[in-house]
Every structure is written in C-alpha cells, then in structure tokens.
Amino acid sequence: MRFFAGQYDVGVIGAGHAGIEAALAAARLGCSAIIFSINLDWIGNMPCNPSVGGTAKGHLVREIDALGGEMGKAADATLLQSRMLNRGKGPAVHSLRAQIDRREYSGYMKHRLETTPGLDILQAEVVKIERGPQGFKLITSLDAEYSAKTVIIASGTFLKGRIFIGEVSYEGGPDGMFAATSLSESLKELGVSLRRFKTGTPARVLSSSIEYAKMEEQEGEEPVIPFSFETKKKLKNQVSCHITWTNTETKRIINENLYRSPLYSGKIQGIGTRYCPSIEDKIVRFADKERHQVFVEPCGLKTDEMYLQGLSSSLPADVQLELLHTIPGLEGVKVMRPAYAIEYDCCDPLQLNAGLEFMDIPGLYGAGQFNGSSGYEEAAAQGLVAGINAALKVQSRPPMILDRASGYIGTLVDDLVTKGCTDPYRMMTSRSEYRLILRQDNADERLTPIGREIGLVDDERWQNFCTRQEAKKAERKRLRETVLPPTEQLNSILVSRETSPVETGVRLEELLKRPQLDYETLTPIDLGRPDLDPMVREQVEIEIKYEGYIKRQQAAVDEMRRLENKLLPEQADYKAITGLRKEAQEKLTKIRPRSLGQASRISGVSPADISVLIVWLNSQRECN
C-alpha cells in the first residue's frame, strides 16, 4: 500500500555523475533534496574507463570545478596517474586526463553526499512520476511516495537497460546491476518522448595474467596538474598504463565472427556513439587499418582488475577471449568481466530548454546519458546545470543559462537543446567555435564569477580567485611597462632561440609575443620578475602570445551575444508569423528557442527567417 514518505524541494533520480552534481548543487544552494540510487555501493560508478578528463572532457571538469561542482575535487583525491594531453598542439587544446581509483572515487562521492547538509540518500528504484499539487510525486518500487517541487532525471543507462554479449541478451543495468524497467512508461505518460541508444565497454582482465614486458609503458607526467583550482596538495603519479596493439590475426577473428555480433545481426536497435566505437566497428569502418591501439589501465590500487581501453565489444564471450589472446602481452590473459553492450531509453533533448528543463513539463529536468550524451564529464556538467536550475526554480530565481562563449558546458547544453543528437553526444574541442577563449587554464575566469553569483562559490574560494586575478593584472602591467636594453646577453638568448636580435630597448611583452620565446628562456634577463603562481604565469603567457587570435574570437563572441540577448517570447506562435518559411515555422515551433541567437543556430532557419523574426519582435513590442 502506498504511503507518504517525505517532502523535498528537489528529487534526483540516479546517483551517477550527473545525479551527484545535481543533488550536491541543489543542497548546497539551500534546497532540501533527495537522491535515489538503485545500488548505494555504486554511487559515482565508472562502468566504463577508470579515468576522468581527456580532450575537451578535461575542459568540462575544470569548468565544473570553476562553477562549484565536485568532480574535479573527487578526481584529484582519487587520482592514480595524470597526463596533460595535446601538449605542443597549443594552449586551446591542452587537456588533462587522469586515471582514477574507481572504488575510491565512488567512496569519496558517497561520503560527500552523506555529509552534505540538507541532502538525503536512498537506495530505491523510482518506478513512477506523477504530477502533484506541489510539483511531482515520486513513487518507489516499495510504494513509498515522495513529493518534490522539482525533479531531475539522471538515469544513465538504467532505463529499460538491456545487455548484449554475442547471442546472449538479458535485461540489466551496468556492471551487473538490475535495470529500471518501469519508469519509462511513466515518463511517456507524462509526455516525454523516448528513444533507444546503446553504448558498450571492454573486458576487465587480471593484471597478473598480463605480460607487460611485451607492451609499451606509459608513465604519468610530473608535476601533476590538478583538475580543481582549489587543490593545493601536491599530487603524485602512482601507477603506469601500458600500450599494445591489435594485429591482422585479431582482425581475422573479428571478421569471421561478425555475424555473431548483435550489432551486425540486427539484435541491437539502439544507436551507438560514433566517436567511441567498439573494436568490431573499428575493424569494419577502418578496414584498411592494420592495427588499433589498446591501453591497459589499472582500475585501482587495491585491485588487480585492468581495463582494456579501445576494445569495447559486444561479441560473444568465447570470441572475446580468442581475440584478446592474439594481442601481444595478452596471450594468456584471464578475463574477469567480459565486454558487453548496453541498450537503454533516453529522451530527445530537443524537448528541453537551455536550462535542461522539459519545456512542456515545467519543474522536470533531464541530465546526462538520459539526455542523449555519453561520458562521465558530459553527464556531470549537465547534472550541475540541471541541479542549479532546479534549485533556482524552487527559490523563484531566474535560471542559469550558460552561452556558448562561456565554456564547453554552455556549448554542450546548447548543442543538445538546439541541434539535438542522433547518436550519443561526446564533447570535442572541434565543437566549440571559440577554442582559444575556452581554455582549460582560464575556466575560473569564465565561470567562477557566475558560480559566485549563484551561491556555489564560498568566500575562501572567491578570495583565492580574486587574488589570482589581481596578480595577473599586475604581471601584465609589469610586462607591458618593463623595457629591456639591447644587451649582449639578451641578444645571445634571442639568437640561440633562432629569433632576431634587437637593436633598441624592447618591452618584455614584445619578447613574449614571439613564438620562439617563453617565460623559461627569459629567466636570466627578467630580473624583476615576482614569484608567480604557475596558473597565473601560464595564463599571462597565453594571453600575450595569442592576443591577436583571442581578440578576433572575442569580437565574434561579442557579435554572437548581441543576438543571444534578443529574447523570443516562450509562447510565440511561429505558425502565425507571415513571411517565415514552412520549414522554419516547424523547427521553431518544435525547438522553441530562447533567443534570436539560438534560433539562428537551428538548421533550417535561414538568415531571411531571422530578419522576419526581428521585424516581428519589434512589431510585438510596439503592440504592447
């Protein structure tokens, strides 16, 4: 029999990377919140790779941290190894990636949730969402009813989850947990349209059965740069990863057994990620490639389980073993958990607004894989946005909308709610048109003031941020005003770096502009240099070196923001606006853009349509 079990401001369904950030943000903003998880032992689980960050994803983690999220701190606290990817490819694309002790990470997050005031944690499966007098009613499988003013769905891959391993398939969630089988129907009744996506993960194998001597070792990089702007503790690399390659024999085995793959036999209907393909997918799509890279990554310090990045698969277990044994170093490998594919329900994000709220169901939010994305970092970013907005709604404050120029988080959300996605969305640096502005080093500058305004950045953090900003300003002034005489010492440095010597005095700033020079090379002659925070130093150097490009992108940003600030009424009847082409009317009606800027990014809305909207907006204004 149904019983009333509690009343909350914010209810969060799912305690993965999205749910955690959502619940923490809501509670930290002063809301009473409850987070539901099917299994409390797997809060913040990493069912795929035991790592955080990577290209563009590293940017997301820094931005989550800058706004006041938890992911960066948790990753720093449980880090096994860290590398800065894309060094040498330019500051816009530097990305942090860290190997994580996944058990420790999960424990860290669970404890963080447990100790956050105002937040309750419950192991329960939510089977039903109903509209209630004060928002929503959430009903668990034990018939307990919770009321919540706002609800965030962060169900990951649990909704009607189905596992595929070769010819075998069964109902199930990730990592041996059970699936959430009832909630989908309830969501459909509420008016949410759902679809099927799929993803997959490679096998976990026993470390002692691997011959590492046959592989290439990949150590971490020193010094370790933390994800969080707040991590002061010096972090250390504790483990190595290893690299090996597939070969023609691997290829042969896969090709011969393709017919047994559920993906190719048509059993899997869900759409998989284009950017994170399974090994059989890679063999088929890049048929001319002889070998594919495999990374062997540790899952933790207290386990011998190793993750095989690059070998995600849904081939039968016997084929998996056979193909693993063709790979150098894995000839005698013992599988602990086989690779699998998982198919699940998720929503079409075009139903959401830029605050990640369902436009037709105010108070209901979506985040993470439920919104059609892939990746822990993408999920956490959306969880933070949804959690903040749910709390702001409860407090009758205006929503937080992050535009594309504010960061990768804003870009991610805008892409999802404006363009939608046809396969699981992965963040990439190429998705941003403002890469030189959206760097991982300046995430705090872009987002900490916003986090402060919302209330997620405490005084101490704000003080630290302001101190860094002051230091940066002072250093830029010093570099602009310090003139070095054309001494022999200076010119010998210049010549040794293959750049032209100077005949007159030269400003430090001018020297730093040269691609051949940096802070390091100028040390012997820059005698008045203060003791600088490495973060400040890095930012100053990049700002000077890339000034021209940054200015160009900033001009584009300003231009974009002008359109972004022209808001469209939520209830606009686009079908009644004369002059709009039919395609534009339909797209605008479906997506309901917030601003002219968002409207202009919808495919099928032409510049002429935008002009028509401008005139229409003006006539509306005059009518009122």
Q: Which residue has the tokens 């890469």?
A: 435
Residue 437, exposed/middle/buried by CB under 10 A (0-12, 13-18, 19+)? buried
Q: Mask of contacts with another protein, 540-569, x by CB under 8 A?
A: ------x--x--xx-----x--xx------
Side-chain half-sphere exposure of 24, counting CA atoms within 13 A:
31
**Judged by CB under 8 A, which of 166, 173, 174, 310 binds another protein?**
310
Decide whether 422 or 516 has the Cβ nearer to another protein.
516
> What is the rounded distance in angstroms from the CA atom of residue 310 to the CA atom of residue 307?
9
Helix (H) or strand (E) holding 337: strand 335-337
Task: Tell me if 422 contacts another protein by CB under 8 A.
Answer: no
> What is the rounded distance in angstroms from the CA atom of residue 339 to the CA atom of residue 324?
11
**Judged by CB under 8 A, which of 295, 340, 408, 465 binds another protein?**
295
| Alpha-carbon torsion (599, 602, 607, 609), positive or negative | negative
Decide whether 257 or 598 has the Cβ nearer to another protein.
598
Task: Tell me if 515 contacts another protein by CB under 8 A.
Answer: yes
Q: Which of these segments, 98-106, 315-323, 373-381, 425-433, binds another protein (CB under 8 A)? A: 425-433
Strand locations in 3-92 (E): 3-13, 33-37, 51-53, 79-85
User: How many residues of this chain bind another protein (CB under 8 A)?
Assistant: 55
Q: Which of these segments, 19-27, 83-91, 133-141, 178-186, binds another protein (CB under 8 A)? A: 83-91
Decide whether 255 or 430 has the Cβ nearer to another protein.
430
Determine phi and psi for 261, rounding to 5 degrees: -80, 130
Query: SS3 of 361, please?
Result: coil
Query: SS3 of 387, please?
Result: helix
Task: Tell me if 337 contacts another protein by CB under 8 A.
Answer: no
> What is the rounded distance in angstroms from the CA atom of residue 618 to the CA atom of residue 426?
38
Question: Which of the residues 187 through 226 are near another protein (CB under 8 A)?
Answer: none
**Judged by CB under 8 A, which of 301, 466, 567, 615 binds another protein?**
615
Q: Which residue has the tokens 């928002």?
A: 135
Decide whether 437 or 454 has the Cβ nearer to another protein.
437
End-to-end CA gap in the chain: 53
Q: Strands of 194-201's sheet, edge to edge? A: 168-171, 162-165, 340-347, 194-201
Q: Mask of contacts with another protein, 567-586, x by CB under 8 A?
A: ----------xxxxx-----
> What is the rounded distance in angstroms from the CA atom of residue 347 to the CA atom of residue 349?
6
Min separation Cβ 374 and another protein, Å: 14
Q: Which of these segments, 137-145, 178-186, 201-209, 427-435, binds another protein (CB under 8 A)? A: 427-435
Strands 162-165 and 340-347: antiparallel
Task: Tell me if 619 contacts another protein by CB under 8 A.
Answer: yes
Task: Tell me if 405 contacts another protein by CB under 8 A.
Answer: no
Decide whether 90 or 455 has the Cβ nearer to another protein.
90
- Specify whether the CB–CB gap between 456 and 25 falls below 8 A: yes
- Specify whether the CB–CB gap between 23 and 33 falls below 8 A: yes
> What is the rounded distance in angstroms from the CA atom of residue 433 to the CA atom of residue 420?
18
Task: Tell me if 450 contacts another protein by CB under 8 A.
Answer: no
Q: Mask of contacts with another protein, 29-68, x by CB under 8 A?
A: -------------------------xxx------------
Q: In this structure, what token pair is assigned to residue 500?
A: 């032209």
**Judged by CB under 8 A, which of 248, 293, 395, 496 binds another protein?**
293
Min separation Cβ 183 and another protein, Å: 34
Question: Which of the residues 84 through 103 are near another protein (CB under 8 A)?
Answer: 85-86, 88-93, 95
Min separation Cβ 381 and another protein, Å: 17
Min separation Cβ 266 and another protein, Å: 28
Min separation Cβ 595 and another protein, Å: 12
245 DSSP 8-state letter: E
Decide whether 29 or 241 has the Cβ nearer to another protein.
241
Decide whether 524 or 579 has the Cβ nearer to another protein.
579
* Peptide bond connecting 349 to the previous residue in cis, omega within 30 degrees of 0: no
Residue 576, exposed/middle/buried by CB under 10 A (0-12, 13-18, 19+)? exposed
Decide whether 295 or 365 has the Cβ nearer to another protein.
295
> What is the rounded distance in angstroms from the CA atom of residue 282 to the CA atom of residue 255?
11
> What is the rounded distance in angstroms from the CA atom of residue 231 to the CA atom of residue 617?
48
**Judged by CB under 8 A, which of 193, 265, 430, 487 binds another protein?**
430
Q: According to the 3-state scheme, what is the secondary structure of 303-366? A: CCEEEEECCCCCCCHHHHHHHHCCCCCCCCCCEEECCEEEEEEEECHHHECCCCEECCCCCEEE
Q: What are the residues facing 123 on neighbouring strands?
A: 37
**Judged by CB under 8 A, which of 140, 320, 429, 598 binds another protein?**
429
Min separation Cβ 13 and another protein, Å: 32
Task: Tell me if 435 contacts another protein by CB under 8 A.
Answer: yes
Q: In this structure, what token pair is assigned to residue 393?
A: 């709604």
**Judged by CB under 8 A, which of 37, 201, 389, 600 binds another protein?**
600
Binding residues for another protein, rule: CB under 8 A, are 54-56, 85-86, 88-93, 95, 275, 292-293, 295, 309-310, 428-430, 433, 435-436, 515-516, 546, 549, 552-553, 559, 562-563, 577-581, 600-601, 605-612, 614-616, 618-619, 622-623
